[in-house]
A and B are shown apart, each in its own frame.
Chain A
């Protein structure tokens, strides 16, 4: 009886520590799988930890109830398999994500085996276009978008650039949300986004886009040509001008004026922070498909961007 109790306690405390490490490794591997590319360093580190876990198990061989033993072995096997998948999936696109350090090592013992990461889940690549100036940018400036998939996209930290992503040249990549940060003097021709476009800190830009929602924060002097089925919002913005983008695919009433909401002007009076562009304004959509030199870019920006102050 007391021997059984002791044995049970050993098995129990071993399982606790084992499961904690297992869960930790499991989540780190699945995060790594989702956030490629993992450097070979990361993968090697994970592999070493999986190996250590496996050793820990063989060290106590014979002292555990056979059911526990099998369970633990199964878990090690699962880790090894996901690790293999991770290796096989290298290298992909260029998105990195740092997992919070302190989450690891804690025992999330509520793990059910059925909750293992779906092995078939395609890891979504994040499309990122960032840190350019005085340039004409297109799909080729975005590191390897995954074909036939959907993805978030981010455009950030550009100055004096023309971004032309209007032509859907990349085999059906669906952008489900677009985050735009910190642009100055830029013209953006964007594809249709199935979800939201979220913009922060734009200064003197023109944007042509189709989307489901449009959320603009802390920006000024921006012209927006948008095809949208909901109301665009601005917050902390000034001198933003809107116009419906002519949309051949939609039978939406082009004449119906956009109802923009200003979240920082919650009063019955009209917001002073945005206005409608004169009816008939046309977006600057006809750009050369070929490359443009910095001088050409500067000239074109000069004539298309809003005046600014």
Chain B
């Protein structure tokens, strides 16, 4: 039994994944976590520091880290990179003014060594707001097509209606799992999930 197999086996036993939710302040990170957890979203206050939520998702235990996004907190994001399996980048789809800021923060994050290999899900949040940018517009505004270093996917969603939140977690879990737990035996179902990356 090679070392790699042993490592894989150990992780298999734990079947834990760590998802880091980042994005500009007001993107809706905390609201998404509360919604997923079935909590009241009307009382969500801005995040000081971070929140952690643990979910059972299929066979996996997910640790979701939600870190505050205002400019003064962004330098601290790096404290949370270690051991991150996936980055969930949350975008306020109505915030046209700060799309460039949002793009720049994302692209500089992706340069981080400690995030190398992490899957990237971009949540185009607040789709319930009439007139917000759709996923195609956001994909372009954020230059997602320039990303070659990470598996990525963009999904439109709403933390208020719950639209696509679970679908997003599904993608993340499958993508991470195929890498960590059975990277050498990609199943045909996950191939479709990967088409986005392959066509980069």
Q: Which residues of A contact B (CB under 8 A)?
A: 23, 27, 30-31, 34-35, 95, 97, 99-100, 103, 106-110, 115-118, 121-126, 146, 149-152, 154, 176-177, 179, 195-196, 198, 212-213, 215, 217, 229-231, 233, 235-236, 261, 263-264, 266
Contacts and interface: CB of A to CB of B under 8 A. Distances in A.
B9 interface: no
Nearest to A20: B145
A264 B49 CA distance: 11
B199 A122 contact: no
Q: Pick the most buried of A106, A154, A235: most chain B CB atoms within 10 A of its CB.
A: A235
A230 B100 CA distance: 28
A149 to B, nearest CB: 6
Contact of A30 (B25, B42, B137, B196): B137
B46 A106 contact: no
A99 B96 contact: no
Nearest to B133: A34
A152 B136 contact: no
Nearest to A97: B96
A115 B68 CA distance: 31
Contacts of A99: 141
Contact of A121 (B25, B134, B144, B145): B134
A151 B137 contact: no
Given A152-B96, A152-B97, A215-B25, A230 B43 contact: yes
Nearest to A35: B96
Contacts of B141: 31, 99
Contacts of B130: 122, 124, 149-150
A229 B40 CA distance: 11
B44 A30 contact: no
B94 A176 contact: yes
Contacts of B135: 115
Contact of A115 (B94, B100, B136): B136
Given A212-B42, A215-B46, A126 B96 contact: yes
B131 A124 contact: yes
B66 interface: no
Contacts of B134: 117-118, 121
A236 B140 CA distance: 34
A196 B43 CA distance: 12
Interface residues of B, number: 41
B131 to A, nearest CB: 3
Contacts, number: 125
A100 B57 CA distance: 38
A230 B45 contact: yes
B61 interface: no
B136 A261 contact: no
B54 interface: no
Contact of A196 (B26, B72, B139, B140): B26
B6 interface: no
A110 B133 CA distance: 19
Nearest to A107: B145
A231 B45 contact: yes
Given A27-B137, A215-B26, A231-B45, A154 B97 contact: yes
B25 A198 contact: yes
A255 to B, nearest CB: 18
B85 interface: no
Contacts of A266: 48-49
A124 B96 CA distance: 9
B192 to A, nearest CB: 12
Which 4 pairs, one residue from A and one from B, show the smallest C-beta to C-beta distance?
A: A124-B131, A108-B145, A27-B140, A230-B45
B16 interface: no
B103 A229 contact: no
